Amino acid sequence: MSRLLPVLLLCATLSLTVRAQQPAEKVFTHADTLRGSITPERAWWDVQRYDISVKPDYLNKTTEGCNVITYKVLSKQHPPAMQIDLQDPLQIDSVVYDNTSRLSFTREGNAWHVETAQQSQAPLSVHRIAVYFSGKPHESTRPPWSGGWTFAKDSLGRPWMTVTCQGLGASIWYPCKDHQSDEPDQGASLAMTVPDTLVAVGNGRLQSKKNNGDGTTTSKWVVKNPISNYCIIPYIGKYVSFQEVYKGEKGNLDVSYWVLDYNLEKAKTYLPYETHNMLKAFEYWMGPYPFYEDGYKLVDVQHTGMEHQSAVAYGNLYKPGYRGRDGSGTGLGMKWDFIIVHESGHEWFGNNITSKDLADMYIHEGFTNYSETLYVDYIFGKTAGNDYNAGTRRGIRNDRPIIAHYDVNDQGSGDMYPKAGNMIHAIRHSIDNDELFRQIIRGLNKTFYHQTVTTPQIVAYISKQAGHDYTKVFDQYLRTTQIPQLEYYFSDDQKRVSYRWTNSVAGFDLPLALNRNAIKLKIFPTTEWKSSTLVDGQAALFDTAAIRKMYYITVQRVKSPSALTLSSPQQEKLESTER
């Protein structure tokens, strides 16, 4: 026992050290559930439309406004209240039902319970509540990475205002049902009352502009399509604009550029070229721009940029790269404007196809990260696309899973960008048919057009179209931090190769298509040893560097299988030829 004691102490110390190095398990509260789940007070009504008005006070950093929420009743039996979300320190001042009566309400943190028990609301009937709010809103400390209002100055020292709120939620600046699963089906409007020396820009199209005779104007912008809460955004500053018509896949697309006045000349020479390349590449790979009715525009901002639907925030200083950097390290990223490509890619994945739960944000970020590869592929060729995609792995940390906890407004690892993008690239190569892959990406945007979706829906669609069940592939890359490893070995005469997946989830089965100089081989590894017969030249396809470039995996050639004492049935299975 005396000899064992130091060993036991060492083991205990190592155990404590390992546990200390692991990220702490998140503890979620009732407030997290109210924010991130479909509560009973959310479930019985469906948002049809938002009509928002806001009047920001630049000097005092306060706002006041109203959101008229048009909704449809979904069920006969429902709670006596509806949950409206508005985050502290903003306050709801009053709620008016169908322009006739005031409703009482109580507050539970950032959730407001609006009493509706006295109202007659039959199933499928449509009603409106006008929610008036005011206060000193939360300010963003690091836009766009933190949420809230920005009360800033442009480079000439003049007032400039906007909002960023992805993740933190639109309820940081206006009252709404702040859950990604319920978009306003009939669109939205945003009316901004600002000093008449400034210009207010919003999503969609400018419907009206009124001079109020008191030194302010009110500009109303209207969106016809469904839109995510966090994409409805005001831009207020010394804006000027220029427009053009782009001949797109669905016909004439109205394109406009709203820039700070001192950027007008360089914007005219820079933005259209980059925008046209983006639209050509993305309409080819992903299908028609999803919001022709609302047009497409770029809006000049002081932060880096955001994917605000039909009003993409642009802050990349009118230069290629990402503010002078290339995240891939290949040099390819310095040949195009990252913000125009990435943030516009979200018009297809994020805005057109929206995840129901924040935990599935890789649907936004992973597919949009991969849209960068598709852009490079379209403009510079497939080899360049492969190089760029492999380069983006520099940003993968494998710190925690990409899919987070559901129903609590939780986000997973930032690996949802490059790692999820590399997963999609691996799936593309495993399909080994670029036209089929292209139709799958376009089909996603057509099948789930203007819809909110879940991971099972995405996986089922891709699997059905590709003819292979990719469930375990999604599980591997999105729900673990393990990098799958391909182990293989050759027979003595090099005429057979055996292979399997390790460091993977049970049942991991990513197919591998290996190609070089017209020599091809497709294998279907699983977590059990399998083998294939090789013909001339195919052994050379097992090149570690070449395989790793196409697939985000590790590759290990072994001298022999890990278990040489297999039972007879196991040995027969090992020696069977891959079909």
CA distance 233 to 149: 10
**What is the predicted pLDDT for the residue at 76?**
87
Which domains does the chain show, CATH number per domain?
A: 40-237 (2.60.40.1730), 339-468 (1.10.390.10), 485-575 (no CATH)
pLDDT, residue 249, reads 98
Q: Counting Cβ atoms within 10 Å, is residue 553 exposed (0-12), middle (13-18) or buried (19+)?
A: buried
- Averaged over successive runs of 10 residues, the pLDDT of the chain (579 residues) comes to 40 41 74 96 98 98 98 92 97 97 97 89 95 98 96 97 96 98 98 98 98 98 98 98 98 98 98 98 98 98 98 98 97 98 98 98 98 98 98 98 97 97 98 98 98 98 98 98 98 95 98 95 97 95 96 94 45 41
pLDDT of residue 23: 54
Distance CA 40, CA 36 (A): 12
pLDDT on residue 559 = 87
Contacts of 431 (CB under 8 A, 6+ apart): 437, 440, 466, 468, 513
DSSP 322: B
Structure tokens at 159: 């007032």
Are the beta carbons of 470 and 499 closer than 8 angstroms?
no
Cα torsion 474, 18, 554, 331: sign: positive
Q: Tokens for 95?
A: 């709620």
d(CA 530, CA 523): 9
- φ/ψ of 294, rounded to 5, equals -100, -5
C-alpha 330/C-alpha 388 separation (Å) is 6
Who contacts 322 (Cβ-Cβ below 8 Å, separation ≥6)?
304, 316, 333, 338, 339
Provide φ and ψ at 552, rounded to 5°: -85, 80
The alpha carbon dihedral of 299, 304, 307, 308 has a sign of: negative
Q: Is 64 exposed, middle or buried (0-12, 13-18, 19+ CB in 10 A)?
A: middle
Count the residues in the chain.
579
Q: Is-contact 169 409, C-beta < 8 A?
A: yes
